[in-house]
Amino acid sequence: MNTGRTTEEFSIEKRGTLLVEDPLLNKGTAFTTEERIQHGLLGLLPPHVDTLEEQVERAYEAFCDFKEPINKHIYLRQLQDENETLFYRLMLGHITEMMPIVYTPIVGLACERFSHIYRRPRGIFISYPERDSMDAILENVERDIDVIVVTDGERILGLGDQGVGGMGIPIGKLSLYTLCGGVAPAKTLPIVLDLGTNNQERLDDPRYIGWRENRIKGEEYDEFIDLFVTAVKKRFPHVLLQWEDFASVDAERIIDRYRDDLCTFNDDIQGTAAVTTGTILAAIAAGGGELKDQNIVMLGAGSAGVGICLQLKQTMMAAGMSEPEARSHFYVIDRDGLLHSGRTDLDELHQQLAQPAENLKNWDCDTTGAISFADVVRNGKPGVLIGATGQAGAFSEPIIREMAAHVEHPVIFPLSNPTSRAEATPADLLEWTHGKAVIATGSPFDPVDHNGVTHTIAQCNNSYIFPAMGLGILASRSRRVTDAMFIAAAEALKETSPALKDRTASLLPSLTIIRDVSRKIAHAVALAAIADGVADSITEAEIDQRIEETMWQPEY
């Protein structure tokens, strides 16, 4: 797989204003005098020829002039639409400052306001009335594509149904594929499936640019998704298709149905599971423990929470545990309390994590009805607590203090985002555990000073996993995505953790070295793909060579 066509390859096709208006080819003021003559640009640009570094400095000055994060987001998106090379070089130079602007948490607000801040098209919009034209729509994409990220906009972060505004998520995700994993921007395609929205605020908004109907569900929804997958396979038979921010009930069905038909995964389920697993493995090791000895409480039984628990269970089993033994370590709580085998309302997926009822017979609470979060923590004595609820404050002080009474270094991950939805703040968690908690969050938090010790809080962000997965898949030419590839990614991520040397350090490496981290994870993913027989059989040296050949650099 190549990494995208160069300006020289396009030069015969595009000249003059067509050239400078193409963000994949535009160099702006960095076009040399010779290029300006050759490509019909004389007089279309100011006379001074900038270096890329000079352009970056000017762009950063403009970025800093904006005070509100949403305006910074709009500026960066506009820059991306004008000059992708400059956009990514700027982002790489200021990645810690800018990633939260391009993606979480500001992308949530951008999705809510998508119809109001819309400037120019990026990606593909497929609405329900156009379902019979999918082949023609995808044919309008005039380049080869390696990676697609698609959403139907129904469950955007913790914000719910945003309709066509959900397009902000595939755009943001693919920006991170390039920024963190080096996937060439010319090889990426964001898609939103516009099946309507049940968000009345969007339907009543005169600026809303989506299909103004309530959501299509049921059989019609499934038929639409099947048409989409068929059209993708026809137009891009070797593409990696990532599903993003679908409602849990649809996300699980979709990935189960199509995972063996093409190279595909669901980032909310599998990507979140991998980054959380890798970070938890690092947190447990930083506290001096082992995964096999941990009881794990998951508050929230949606696709993200279940996916995390299933991958942790698979990791335990890969280390030698039986399935019943591994399952006994998990306590998953939904709105009706603990999942256990005595409940008759559990579907097949949730039954895989149901605690055997016989394990609860000696608990100090009534186990004949709903078993509460507080009862689970008091009786289960977890070493690991994860939140995926979207409910701010769900981790209360009494519950956290109860947990800390039974474990030396409680591992606590309030993963809900945006920041306003976090189950607890790191400052409170450190206060309630006397500074002993090992913490990662779903949204960015500043370091916390507690009793003279500075604790760096890792953002358990999927950007550590999915771009590296994409890089490993493209480099190995994988035909499918397997569970073992995600386990390998999690294990590789754990090994990069600074907290393995200092418990108060971040559980995840600095974003400033994210491309190096992606290389390591991609290598592990490629090895797992080869071992599973779903990729080219190549040597480790060839893997590394292909990784370097695949990684696009933001250079003119």
Active-site residue list: 103, 173
Structure tokens at 505: 């350090």
155 is in an annotated binding site: yes
Distance between first and last Cα of the chain:
20
Which helix (H) or strand (E) element contains residue 325? helix 323-327
Cβ-contact 95, 511 below 8 angstroms: yes
Between the alpha carbon of residue 328 and those of residues 235, 255, 386, the distances in Å are 45, 26, 17
The count of other CB atoms within 10 Å of the CB of residue 36 is 17
Cβ-contact 459, 441 below 8 angstroms: yes
Q: How many Å apart are CA 158 and CA 156, to the nearest integer?
A: 6
**From the centroid of its chain, how far is CA 160?**
16
Structure tokens at 185: 């921007």
DSSP state of 355: B
Q: How many Å apart are CA 6 and CA 2, to the nearest integer?
A: 11
Cβ-contact 509, 496 below 8 angstroms: yes
Closest of 398, 449, 451 to residue 424, by C-alpha: 398
Q: Give the DSSP per-residue string, 390-410.
A: --TT-S-HHHHHHHHTT-SS-
Closest of 167, 256, 251 to residue 209, by C-alpha: 167
Q: What residue has token string 């030419």?
A: 477
Between the alpha carbon of residue 449 and those of residues 4, 426, 435, 453, the distances in Å are 46, 10, 9, 5
**Residues 192, 198, 203, 209: what is their CA dihedral angle, to the nearest 10 degrees?**
0
Cβ-contact 202, 539 below 8 angstroms: no
Structure tokens at 62: 């403009």
Q: How many Å apart are CA 518 and CA 93, to the nearest integer?
A: 17
245 is in an annotated binding site: yes
Cβ-contact 279, 413 below 8 angstroms: yes
Between the alpha carbon of residue 287 and those of residues 153, 375, 442, the distances in Å are 39, 25, 20
428 is in an annotated binding site: no
> In this structure, are strands 458-459 and 438-441 parallel, antiparallel, or unpaired?
parallel
Positive or negative, the Cα torsion across 245, 246, 252, 257?
negative
DSSP state of 40: T
Between the alpha carbon of residue 239 and those of residues 146, 189, 425, the distances in Å are 5, 10, 39
Annotated binding site: 155, 244-245, 268, 417, 461
